[in-house]
Structure 1
Amino acid sequence: HVDLIDEGYDVVIRINPRPDSQLVGRCFHRDDLLLVAPADLARPPDAETPVSLVAGSSAPVLQKRGLIDGNSERHVTLKTVLRLPSPLMVRDAVVAGAGVGILPRMLIARSLEQGLVQDWGCLVDVRIELWALHASRRLTSARIVAFLDFLSGEMPSFLRSTLCAG
């Protein structure tokens, strides 16, 4: 975790940042979190049957999640069986058949299009936001404003073309 002010950085990019009175910024990308599964994995027969989850390092061992699937809401019980340090590694493990994963749409879109994974639904009331943050000052430098404008204008298409390669 970089301390923007103490270490002298102009801008830091964070996912779902906590409120900080010393930092201000701009959200440049929002995305849904999907529960995705290997293409050949059958859905559980009911909400109580646990499904093997490949997750980030801080995921609880057992969790119940609400999903929006089309126009209906349902629940699924997830049991963490593998923890990985990176969302890209989670994506690759799901594609390889290790279990289901909770991933941003932007990271899994290409694999969905190619039929390598299936979309079991969007997590209820959970999204990710990518923010560019800078020190809160009355006047923001032109360099920071230009960078924030660039991120807001160019990053969504860059993210789609680069991160969706998996």
Structure 2
Amino acid sequence: MRLEDVTAMVVFARVVELGGFSAAAQALGLSKSAVSKQISKLEDRLGTRLLNRTTRQLSVTEAGAAFFERCQRVEAEALAAEEAVTHLAEAPRGLLKVNSALSFGVRHIAPALPDFLAMCPELEVDLSLNDRPVDLVEEGYDLAIRIGKLGDSSLVARRLAPMRRLLFAAPDYLARAGRPKHPNELRQHECLLYTYQTSGQTWSFRAAEGGTERDVKVRISGRLRINNGDAILKACIAGQGVALLPSFICSEAISEGVVERLLPDWDDGTPGGVHAVFPASRNLSPKVRVFVDFFLTRFGSEPYWDSQLGEQSVIA
């Protein structure tokens, strides 16, 4: 069925309900001649007369009466569809599909969802956790949480929090292998590799030495490659090597002293952030907007995972 056929059916239903072309035209915001043309085209397409017209009255034919019942259902469905869309556009309702990197989702998205859902009682959340890149449009997600430096994309991005990557190792590993004093010394160390790192086996650092900012890129190597940050942290705690991970994964382990931070005078040379990304739209849906605003407030400019890093955790 074509859209113009549905429109004509709604016009016909209004004409019958209101008892004339003039009243239907006024209700629909159309001219009387436009309403008359819609009915004539509909009768031509159906090959039967729906209305008997005289100068004084309008009556429905037998075929028109049978057709009217069906047109009423179409009109009701069209109104219900419009009301449903309007209802969803007014407040956060319905299903919100979210994708997040596994470690960040488990540590910082999932624990916050009870508070978020309590704030939005008409909203449902479907949270998918994995560390592979996803296509939001093709896979049907409303938004995704992406970590690090964003590439060029048609997606809209909102920065939820800063991201720092910290270098660290377990005390027993350092007792065996020694403590690096400069990023270049990492070439002689067993490094724990992240499978999805876009720079491959190159770690970047930045430092201010003698008032001059310097960038250092180090080609590292290691026998263990893992596709998840929390698994890398566990391997590091077990003394398997040196790790470079976001602070939202490792800050607790550093503050507890189970691993020791290395090269604190050197910052991550590939700064990025924690971003919410979603398809571009003229009208951002309330459910996406409220999710983004909630986590912007929860994380803030100095997220709680960074504020728990004390000076005692920084070991030269």
Give TM-score, length-normalised by structure 1: 0.78
Instruction: Look up the match of 2:281.
Output: 137
SS at 1:43 equivalent: coil
State the 1:25 CA deviation. 2.5
State the match for 2:192 in structure 1. Answer: 54
Structure 2: which amino acid aligns with 1:135? P
2:223 alignment counterpart: 81
Residue matched to 1:19: 152
Count of aligned pairs between the two proteins? 160
- Give the whole-Å Cα distance in 1 for the aligned partners of 2:142 and 2:260: 40
Q: Percent identity?
A: 25
Shift in CA distance, 71/124, structure 1 to aligned 2, threshold 3 Å: farther
2:232 to 80, 87, 90: 90
Pick closer, same or farther for the CA change 1:26–1:58 going to 2, 3 Å. Answer: closer
Aligned to 2:205: 66
Larger radius of gyration: 2
Question: Residues 167 and 245 of structure 2 are in contact (CA less than 8 Å); yes or no, is this contact kept in structure 1?
Answer: yes
Where does the alignment leave 5 or more consecutive residues of structure 1 unmatched?
none
Q: What is the RMSD of the two structures over their aligned residues, measured on CA atoms?
A: 3.2
What's 1:33 paired with? 165
Offset at 1:155? 4.3
Distance 1:142 1:79, change over 3 A: same
Contact kept? 1:33, 1:128, Cα under 8 Å: no
Maintained 8 Å contact 1:50/1:77: no
Amino acid at match of 1:114: E
Q: Which amino acid aligns with 1:84?
A: I
Distance in 1 of aligned mates of 2:203 and 2:286: 46
Instruction: Give the 3 Å change call, closer, same or farther, for CA 30–120 of structure 1 in structure 2.
Output: same
Q: Structure 2: which 5+ runs fail to align?
A: 1-132, 310-316
User: What CA deviation, in whole Å up to 9, does each residue of 1:112-157 have, x standing for no partner?
Assistant: 1121111113444222422111110111112211111012112469
**Quick check: which one's helix share is greater?**
2
Q: Counterpart amino acid of 1:66?
A: F
The one-letter amino acid paired with 2:163 is D
Could you tell me which of 295, 306, 313 is aligned with 1:151?
295
Greater fraction of residues in strand:
1
Q: How far is 1:6 from its partner?
A: 2.5
Q: Distance in 2 between matches of 1:74 and 1:81?
A: 26
Decide whether the 8 Å contact of 1:25 with 1:131 is kept in 2.
yes
In the TM superposition, residue 70 of structure 1 has moved relative to its aligned partner by 9.8
Residue in structure 2 matching 1:119, options 252, 261, 276:
261
Displacement of 1:3 after TM fit?
Answer: 1.8
**SS of the counterpart of 2:275?**
strand
**Distance 1:25-1:74 versus aligned 2 partners, 3 A rule:** closer
AA of the residue aligned to 1:118 = E
Task: Tell me how far apart the structure 2 counterparts of residues 92 and 34 of structure 1 sit (CA, whole Å).
Answer: 15
- Which has the larger displacement, 10-19 or 149-158? 149-158
